[in-house]
């Protein structure tokens, strides 16, 4: 049986892949930072020699929400650069058949036209709020293409939009927008206080449910035969404002009357609408989970796991 090593295997997307893994005929290895420090090349090399994977899904990264990106730029840049260097080097040395590495639409240029597509990734500087993280992730694509050009390796990058779902990081300061708001609204409900949403709520985003992304990553592994990066995203018509998302979350807690937007906080990038035309042309029948349903399932999971989840 062919094997798949999933780095970042206990994170948001790794757990989603684990959930659906029984539907696929592979032996999966889900590796977390507790099992291997991927910033250490020797440890990474030992891991690869032990597992000798046929395929690698590279999800491991130093990630966080807007405020972590703004306040910890050195860590966001250096740790991601080192992780990616070590993982791809080991994949090449081990002659891995195919590598799927995960980028993000937040790394696209700030000053650009919309919708953004795969060819626009390096067309200008990213938004200053996440530039260190963005450049590190862009270099992952550069490095992948270098291995393709020099050695013919099958190293592909996927570019998802904002991901959410069970097993997310629900930390109030470092989490992405949906899990942070889910946690904040929960605390507001418990203490009968206002549900404070940071920023104006005006920015627009496309959100993809983690299990949908897991299915698309495995589709990319099995069916996507191009060498270029591909955006894995809901349709542009599914774009919603942060205000709309806050209302969806508040509705699940019966807290719609308690929302307050704190405009003293930065909104970050106003929009980063992604064009999923390439995906739709290749996989037109894929059905995405509606965001209302995904948020409801995420809140249920959070309530059931509040004592043990990352927060």
Indicate whether 69 pLDDT > 70: no
Q: Are 78 and 67 in contact (CB under 8 A)?
A: no
Indicate whether 70 pLDDT > 80: no
- Predicted pLDDT at 67: 60
Q: What is the pLDDT of residues 218-258, one digit of tens each?
A: 999 999 999 999 999 999 999 999 999 999 999 999 999 99
Long-range Cβ contacts of 119-125 (<8 Å, 24+ apart): 121/159, 121/229
Gap between the Cα atoms of 169 and 174, Å rounded: 8
What are 6's two structure tokens?
């999933």
Gap between the Cα atoms of 273 and 275, Å rounded: 7
Q: What is the pLDDT of residues 110-123, one digit of tens each?
A: 888 999 999 999 99
Q: Are 7 and 31 in contact (CB under 8 A)?
A: yes
The mean pLDDT of 39-50, rounded to a whole number, is 97
Catalytic residue among 55, 133, 186, 209: 133
Whether 133 sits among the annotated catalytic residues: the reply is yes
Domains along the chain?
A: 3-163+206-236 (3.40.50.720)
pTM: 0.94
CA distances from 5 to 30, 136, 166 (A): 6, 22, 21
Indicate whether 64 pLDDT > 80: no
Q: Are 229 and 103 in contact (CB under 8 A)?
A: yes
The mean pLDDT of 178-193, rounded to a whole number, is 95
- Predicted pLDDT at 307: 87
Mean of all residue pLDDT scores within the chain: 94
Q: 20 falls in which pLDDT band (50, 70, 90)?
A: very high
Specify the DSSP class assigned to residue 17: H
């Amino acid at each position: 049986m062919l094997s798949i090593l999933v780095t970042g295997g206990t994170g948001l997307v790794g757990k989603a892949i684990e959930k659906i893994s029984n539907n696929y005929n592979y032996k999966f290895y889900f590796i977390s930072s507790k099992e291997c420090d991927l910033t250490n090349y020797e440890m990474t090399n030992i891991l690869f020699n032990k597992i000798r994977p046929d395929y690698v899904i590279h999800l491991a990264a130093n990630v966080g929400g807007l405020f972590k990106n703004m306040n910890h730029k050195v860590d966001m840049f250096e740790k991601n650069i080192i992780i990616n260097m070590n993982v791809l080097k080991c994949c090449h040395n081990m002659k891995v058949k195919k590598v799927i590495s995960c980028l993000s639409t937040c790394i696209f240029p700030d000053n650009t036209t919309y919708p953004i597509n795969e060819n626009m990734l390096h067309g200008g500087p990213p938004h200053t709020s996440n530039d260190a993280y963005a450049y590190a992730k862009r270099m992952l694509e550069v490095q992948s293409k270098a291995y393709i050009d020099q050695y013919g390796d099958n190293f592909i990058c996927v570019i998802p939009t904002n991901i959410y779902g069970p097993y997310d990081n629900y930390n109030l300061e470092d989490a992405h927008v949906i899990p942070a708001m889910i946690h904040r609204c929960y605390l507001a409900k418990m203490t009968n206080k206002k549900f404070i949403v940071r920023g104006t709520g005006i920015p627009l985003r496309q959100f993809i449910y983690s299990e949908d992304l897991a299915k698309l990553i495995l589709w990319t592994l099995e069916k996507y035969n191009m060498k270029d990066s591909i955006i894995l995203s809901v349709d542009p018509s599914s774009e919603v404002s942060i205000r709309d998302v806050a209302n969806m979350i508040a509705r699940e807690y019966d807290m719609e009357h308690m929302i307050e937007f704190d405009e003293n906080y930065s909104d970050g990038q106003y929009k980063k609408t992604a064009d999923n035309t390439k995906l739709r042309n290749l996989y037109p029948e894929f059905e995405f989970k509606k965001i209302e349903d995904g948020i409801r399932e995420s809140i249920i999971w959070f309530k059931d796991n509040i004592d043990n989840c990352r927060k």
